Amino acid sequence: MNKKAILILLLIILFITALASIFIKKLILLREGSYYKRPDYNVVLISLDTLRADHISAYGYKSTTSPNIDEFADNAILFENSFCNAVWTLPSHMSLMTSLYSSTHRVWDKNSKLSRSIKTIAQILKENEYLTAAFTGGAFVSKVFGFDKGFDLYRENYDVQIENPGQPLRLKHIEKDLFDWLENHSKDKFFLFIHCYDTHEPFIAHNYLKEFEQDYSGRLNFLNNHSDFIKHLDYEKYRSLIKDPLNINSFYRDVINENHIKLTEEDKNHIVFLYDNEIKFVDHYFGRLIAKLKNLSLMTKTIIILWSDHGEELLERGNIQHGGSTYEELMRVPLIIYIPEYLGFGRNQALAQSIDIAPTILDVLNIKSENDFKGIPLLSPEFACNKYVVCEQKGVDAIRTEKYKLMFNKRNYDVLLFNLENDAGELKNIAESNPEIIEKLKKDLFDTLNRADLNKKLIKKLKTIGYIK
């Protein structure tokens, strides 16, 4: 055998040995459950504000509202039972960023700001040599509340044309600046947070509305003239309010929730169709974002997380909007996670919550942190054992297991208990006949939130009304 043949043979042997070594290492990592971890992945975290899980096609909705989200979910992990830890924008997003409950991070009204002592996921990633940037709709996701902590760039103001009074910033308004940034930093290791208000009221009619509704002739004038929402002159006193865009959401809520207008079935359906058309609209721009990531060859090295901060009431209990209760239509939110080399994509039915997202990011990136996160990494063995999720609201807290949900009113210590297996709409309160379940769930709730004082008060209340002895 000549020297050239020997050299070629040696190279082949070295190549096969290297491949075998890689294969063996992957088998070991697969067995250990850590094969998907890579410290150099980028992270794109997307918040589509006010998006209900049960109105997304991939979650089983009857209409096709989200073809691009559905396609994205086909190669990702879709958490079927994902819940927010607060039911309005400000505290929910802060729980996302800190992996803490509202009563711990304490950013839950317009006068609050995140403490300097609390680290965000952006700060941790920046400390680990990530370039950090955010493109947001502002308002209750503004830097004034401390959301900019750890970000090299935090955008919430854009030179864009807002078509209608009261319309919040949408993904299409953010797109140009966002895409420019991606093109300039596609070679960097980055953490990117994207937030928009597309599915937040007031709902706007797009061309997609005709896919859900034809020839609406009811009393709600959402379709063309957004400077006044009601056609009828008997609401003249409200017209002065809506000259100021900042008051439009309040007007929209009050007119319907306080029964200033009697809604027909056509009106009620119209509100739902408007919401669905908003989902289809933002889904289009979500598809454009995914296409951009593909064009920049980022899909093979980027974790992408799609999430929402809370849902929306669509007249299930006579109201619209959010923030006032902890029913399923407000608590259950989409959570879809794409990891390039993860083999277990598909549907996960375990109970997930927003505070689990930051620990999951660090777990996939194999970054250790001393942060006292309250969430659990969603790909860890511990997550499969998760027994309940917790949601905090100013008036009513909730704890939800696979079968039951307990709501606790912090003002009068009343409790509601629902069996979700046979009462998915949460219509029948079974608290009076299930004192043991109440006792167990309220203990888990208060232990989780460290509320010993409320625990004592509730026990006293339950004894007074005869729930426990």
295-336 pLDDT, tens digit per residue, is 999 999 999 999 999 999 998 988 888 877 899 999 999 999
440-450 pLDDT, tens digit per residue, is 999 999 999 88
Please check whether residue 409 lies inside any domain of the structure: yes
State CA 208 to chain mean position distance. Answer: 23
Q: Is the pLDDT of residue 79 over 70?
A: yes
Q: Are 147 and 134 in contact (CB under 8 A)?
A: yes
Q: How many domains does the chain have?
A: 2
Place of tokens 């669509």: 314
Cα 109 to Cα 114, 193, 207, 272, 449, distances in angstroms: 11, 22, 36, 28, 18
- Average per-residue pLDDT in the chain? 86
Locate 261 and state its tokens.
């207008």
Same domain, 199 and 345: yes
Same domain, 284 and 405: no
Cα 429 to Cα 387, 406, 445, 458, distances in angstroms: 21, 10, 18, 17
Same domain, 288 and 436: no
The pLDDT value recorded for residue 31 is: 47
Same domain, 131 and 197: yes
The CATH number given to whatever domain includes residue 272 is 3.40.720.10
Q: What is the mean pLDDT of residues 379-396?
A: 89
Please check whether residue 229 lies inside any domain of the structure: no
Same domain, 125 and 199: yes
15-58 pLDDT, tens digit per residue, is 777 666 655 555 444 444 567 899 999 999 999 999 999 999 99
Rounded Cα distance, 314 and 318, in Å:
8
The CATH number given to whatever domain includes residue 421 is 3.30.1120.10
Q: Are 325 and 426 in contact (CB under 8 A)?
A: no
Q: Are 324 and 395 in contact (CB under 8 A)?
A: yes
Is pLDDT larger for residue 197 or for residue 462? Answer: 197
Same domain, 172 and 73: yes
Place of tokens 């063309």: 224
The structure's pTM equals 0.87
Q: Is the pLDDT of residue 180 over 90?
A: yes
Q: Is the pLDDT of residue 72 over 80?
A: yes
341-351 pLDDT, tens digit per residue, is 888 889 999 99
Same domain, 433 and 358: no
Please check whether residue 320 lies inside any domain of the structure: yes
Same domain, 327 and 449: no
Q: Indicate the residue among 332, 351, 383 that finishes a domain.
A: 383
Is pLDDT larger for residue 283 or for residue 414? Answer: 283
251-261 pLDDT, tens digit per residue, is 667 777 766 67
Q: Are 323 and 87 in contact (CB under 8 A)?
A: yes
Same domain, 325 and 411: no
Confidence class for position 1, pLDDT limits 50, 70, 90:
low
Confidence class for position 185, pLDDT limits 50, 70, 90:
very high
Same domain, 419 and 351: no
278-293 pLDDT, tens digit per residue, is 999 999 999 999 999 9
Same domain, 379 and 430: no
Same domain, 164 and 277: yes
Print the domain residue range for 138: 42-204+262-383
The pLDDT value recorded for residue 19 is: 66
449-464 pLDDT, tens digit per residue, is 885 445 555 556 555 6
